[in-house]
Structure 1
Amino acid sequence: MKKLIALFIVIILSVTFVACSNGSEETETKAKDEATEKTPVESEDVNMTIAVNAEIISLDPHDISDTLSGSAASTMYEPLYDYKLDMSLEPVLATSYEVSKDGLEYTFHIREGVTFHDGTPLNADAVKFNFDRISNKDNNLRRRRNLLHVVSTEVVDEYTLLIKLDAPFAPMLNRIASISIISPAALEKYGNDGIITNPVGTGPYVFEKWTPGDKMIVRTNKNYWKEGPQIDTLTFNPVVENGARIAMMQTGEADYIYPMPAEQVKAVQGDKNIEIIEGPSTIARFTFLNMSKDIFSDVRVRQAINYAIDKEAYAKVVKAGYAVPLTSHVPSTINYHVAQPEYEYNLEKAKKLMAEAGYPDGFKTHIWAPNDTENMKGMQFISQQLAQIGIEVEVVPMEEGTLSQSIYSPQTPEESKVNMWYVSWSAFDFDGATAKLFHSANIPPTAPNVSYYMSPKSDALIEAGAVEVDIEKRAEIYAELQQVIWNDAPWIFMGSDVLLSAKRNTTEGIFVDPSGGIRATKASTSK
């Protein structure tokens, strides 16, 4: 009863207070309330951030050589076919294809009803425009190597494209999957240079902002042709230092980070807000040895270097155990892989080979890599290991854009300044993991055979495997090729990654595929 009386008094006092309020103030408040009811309230954007360990170099999907730039571009661009997580291909901007019996003609049926972000319709003409741009030697685009067997592209009708080859090429569909389709209107408007920073595709996100060396922001494509992201914006934020990326994950400033620093996995495993994700990898970690330089021209030196590197220690020290030693130039996750005899850790054997090659006291050289924490650690490990056989290695970290320019700007082997390049490479198939890295036609500036490896035998095997459609015969060719490359040792064969990424437990729809590419087509968050 006492509570009821107290409540009654409170109500009376409240009414009295309202009655005594200033009339004009009451009217003003009422007007504001009515205006608020009539004016729709705009909800805040739902934003997500992916923190990565390097900078994006380019957004032109036809001229990209690094996986991160490819990941960024893939938010806005799509190919005719693309890879699923199980490494099989699925139709994207095409609905189906046929191959002629002689393997010389590929007919693609283009998906109807799709438009580019600028409103340009997707059709066979648009796809042909892209293929012709890549094939044009004057453009000097990196993807041109994927279309060397293409003689012509012909528009059959509005949604049918015919691609003719000069010879059967077994990995052709894989090469098609590497070609993203750009709006032809945007290419004509911005040109080859302008399209790098003005991307226009058909993908789940529309370009919003990117300053080279800084963040890239994309906004969800509201007119996407299939189910897409459930957020407003996605940001790729380059954060070179491992600890800083982890801190962003812990505070929620980042929703997803890749790579997750292996040495810090244990430190965050107890955090209920963070999930560590492990995955299989097609990534090979290695070091190019520039064979055009005298110090690396002798196979005994290159083999000695491989014997002087403790691959098990590398996996533990640099990758915190999240790596396995390479047993071929391709990881064991790639079809046609054949394990080769191990370059076991053997300093005496390494020193003997060095002496036989005329370098009993070693020599001085340098190693290049990006300036992020993990690459720095890898370079330092190699430098320390090679010091044991008298090779003094200067560690030279570089910003990604500078490194790429330094690698690909020289027009001849003689102009090349790089001696060793610590790097990784990922591919979905054997040819993709081999041809660009070892065929003599693929030395810089057009492709990444930075070992300047020029072996007529390897060239012949690479070419034979590419046109051999019999699976068993192709396997025999690739088995021999792996043996030749392994013995020639144009690389320091380091290891293959166990992929590590991390996400907030509110994050869904973002993942890393086996090649190390970040996919965010269906990104969503409950934060």
Structure 2
Amino acid sequence: MTILHLHRQSLGMFAGLTIAASAASMPLSGAFAQSAAQTLRVANPVAVVSLDPFGAKAADQPTLTVTQEVLEPLVMRRDGAIHPWLAERWENPDNLTWIFHLKSGIQFADGSPMTSADVKASLDRVIAEKGPLAGLWAAVEAIETPDAQTFKIKTTQPVGTILSNLTMLGIAPAAKIRDPNFFSAPYGTGPFKVASFTAGQLVRLVRNENYWGEKPKLSQIEYRYIPEVSGRITALENNEIDFTWGLPPDQIDQVKDSKSLTVESFPTYSNYYMWFNNSRKPFTDARVRQAMWHAVDLAQIQKDLFPGTASLAKGPIPQAVFGSSVQTPYAYDVAKAKKLLADAGYPNGFETAMMWSSQCCAAVREFAETLVSYWAAVGIKVTPQELERATWLDRLLKLDWDSTLTDGNTLTGDADFTLARLYLSSAKRMGYANPKLDEILLAARAELDQAKRSELYASAGRLIWDEAVGIFPLDMMVHAVYRSNVKGFKPTPNAMPRFENVSKD
């Protein structure tokens, strides 16, 4: 069964869905369109609506893509390993204590010194705001600053994820971090600072002349939101922007032969997944969930919809992530799917619904149409629900859904960020609760030995996979497209491109 055949079957189902207005005809502002020699003009695929990465937007990729150039962490993950950054070294005098020694002489962009008080204030705010990353710090008992260059974390139990968690903590000035006005133009110790910000439209960064490291060659970075892919491609071809990413697979062929453009595709920490609401019948039965997985030919979907842009997933998190492991694939087997449904008490199938965000991911509607058609072949009638992102997110968090199709990003590159944050019973994210899984995930989080942590996450991944808590079809690649005069770009597996080492000819 091919995608083309499936698509014809399901064309009528989506006739009423609204499509975002094209941005191809949106005029670019004069300041944005006229590029200075070292101004990088970037079209981001999702709107930046906030520059505050400490609260509700702490895991929001558009926010983090910009603020990573401004607010730096104590440590960074580079080439799969954790490296010192604002901290020069650290130690564990015991299993409950982490002591970080900060590099000396580092200043914020306003010239004030960065001290341990700023680190403490930054972590305090993440915890106090109770946002999406607060759970990473649930075991913190005390945060201490013995002196201006020393930062100490004490925990109630051993936490093996402290370093990977810290890669997500940008440091802001303690004196400013609780001032909402600060985040209209925040600054930190990073290579750039914010010059102006119009939510949902434009962010302009300028070089931080007080930067402690190697000064960027770029004088400015301008991020503009162009919602339609066609609008971004047109802007690239017309030399109105220099860089964009997140193009869907069917658009890659359109630009890859251009002499003025470079296309770079690379594996990431991102994957497509479909969750079942495990607290709502019939998805309380693992056999139903497994049947829906066996009913879908994922290899054909990858070939038809995502050629060269995604690979078949081998586990619930991408293989590039620390703690990933290879699981036994679910074979496309219609007979087995029907038998599992019959064994679960649904020999004639059932009716359900699947929702997704219209702003979600590459080829999401085509992917959804295809899944719906496959399930129809085994008697499962799925009503598609394409929603605005705010509505989708509200329903997701309230567990007001049967199933949902989306993508995820293990931003820290560490399995804990996805597996423990989302699949612990206490997370209440997809109605799945398994004490055995909780035990494994909590043991992995508490383990300081990284090899043992990896083994525990492999066990957790196997359980999530075998129980079919969701369907994990594809590990995603990101496609960056930029003008040929852009030099020095290096892909980042967290799918949030960095530009401090970029220049323009």
Task: Please indicate, yes or no, whether the TM-score normalized by the shorter chain is above 0.5.
Answer: yes
Match of 2:381 in 1: 392
Query: Is the deviation greater in 378-387 or in 148-157?
Result: 378-387
Equivalent residue in structure 1 for 2:405, among 393, 397, 421: 421
Alignment partner of 1:65 is 2:59: yes
Query: Is the deviation greater in 269-278 or in 421-430?
Result: 421-430
More helix per residue = 1
Paired residues of 2:277 and 2:401 also in contact (CA < 8 A): no
Paired residues of 1:45 and 1:233 also in contact (CA < 8 A): no
The letter for the 2-side match of 1:363 is E
Match of 1:363 in 2: 351
The letter for the 2-side match of 1:230 is K
Structure 2 distance, partners of 1:145, 1:331, is 22
TM-aligned CA deviation for residue 198 of structure 1: 4.3
Match of 2:202 in 1: 215
TM-aligned CA deviation for residue 473 of structure 1: 4.1
The letter for the 2-side match of 1:287 is M
TM-aligned CA deviation for residue 81 of structure 1: 0.7
Relative distance call for 1:45 and 1:388 in structure 2 (3 A) is same
Paired residues of 1:229 and 1:523 also in contact (CA < 8 A): yes
Q: Secondary structure at the match of 1:502?
A: strand
Structure 2 distance, partners of 1:434, 1:273, is 42
Paired residues of 2:111 and 2:210 also in contact (CA < 8 A): no
Kindly report which structure 2 residues correspond to 1:344-493, keeping only aligned pairs within 5 A, or say none.
344-359=331-346, 360-371=348-359, 374-408=363-397, 410=398, 413=399, 416-417=400-401, 419-427=403-411, 428-443=413-428, 450-471=429-450, 473-493=452-472
Match of 2:4 in 1: none
TM-aligned CA deviation for residue 339 of structure 1: 1.7
Match of 2:6 in 1: none
TM-aligned CA deviation for residue 470 of structure 1: 4.1
Paired residues of 2:279 and 2:430 also in contact (CA < 8 A): yes
The letter for the 2-side match of 1:214 is Q
Relative distance call for 1:201 and 1:172 in structure 2 (3 A) is same
Structure 2 distance, partners of 1:89, 1:331, is 18
Structure 2 distance, partners of 1:77, 1:45, is 25
Provide, for residues 6-57 of structure 1, a one-character-per-residue CA deviation record: whole Å limited to 9, x for no partner: xxxxxxxxxxxxxxxxxxxxxxxxxxxxxxxxxxxxx957422222322224
Structure 1 distance, partners of 2:439, 2:294, is 28
Q: Secondary structure at the match of 1:483?
A: helix
Paired residues of 1:290 and 1:452 also in contact (CA < 8 A): yes
Relative distance call for 1:398 and 1:110 in structure 2 (3 A) is farther
Paired residues of 1:107 and 1:160 also in contact (CA < 8 A): yes
Paired residues of 2:185 and 2:195 also in contact (CA < 8 A): no
Equivalent residue in structure 2 for 1:200, among 174, 179, 187: 187
Paired residues of 1:307 and 1:344 also in contact (CA < 8 A): yes
TM-aligned CA deviation for residue 80 of structure 1: 0.7
Match of 1:145 in 2: 135
Relative distance call for 1:289 and 1:238 in structure 2 (3 A) is farther
Structure 1 distance, partners of 2:296, 2:220, is 44
Paired residues of 1:316 and 1:322 also in contact (CA < 8 A): no
Kindly report which structure 2 residues correspond to 1:217-366, keeping only aligned pairs within 5 A, or say none.
217-359=204-346, 360-366=348-354
The letter for the 1-side match of 2:61 is T
Paired residues of 1:52 and 1:239 also in contact (CA < 8 A): yes
Over aligned residues, Cα RMSD in angstroms? 2.4
Structure 1 distance, partners of 2:43, 2:402, is 29
The letter for the 1-side match of 2:213 is K
Match of 1:80 in 2: 74
Structure 2 distance, partners of 1:195, 1:352, is 59
Query: Is the deviation greater in 104-113 or in 363-372?
Result: 363-372
Structure 2 distance, partners of 1:124, 1:315, is 48
Match of 2:172 in 1: 182
TM-aligned CA deviation for residue 286 of structure 1: 0.7
The letter for the 2-side match of 1:94 is A
**Using CA pairs below 8 Å that are at least 6 residues apart, which structure has the higher relative contact order?**
2
TM-aligned CA deviation for residue 236 of structure 1: 2.1
Match of 2:99 in 1: 107
Paired residues of 1:286 and 1:491 also in contact (CA < 8 A): yes
Paired residues of 1:215 and 1:237 also in contact (CA < 8 A): yes
Runs of 5+ consecutive residues of structure 1 not aligned to the other structure: 1-42, 444-449
Of structures 1 and 2, the larger Rg is shown by: 1
Match of 1:20 in 2: none
Provide, for residues 327-348 of structure 1, a one-character-per-residue CA deviation record: whole Å limited to 9, x for no partner: 2112222334332221111122
Match of 2:23 in 1: none
Relative distance call for 1:396 and 1:58 in structure 2 (3 A) is farther
TM-aligned CA deviation for residue 472 of structure 1: 5.2
Q: Secondary structure at the match of 1:285?
A: strand
Provide, for residues 241-272 of structure 1, a one-character-per-residue CA deviation record: whole Å limited to 9, x for no partner: 32322222222222111113322333323212
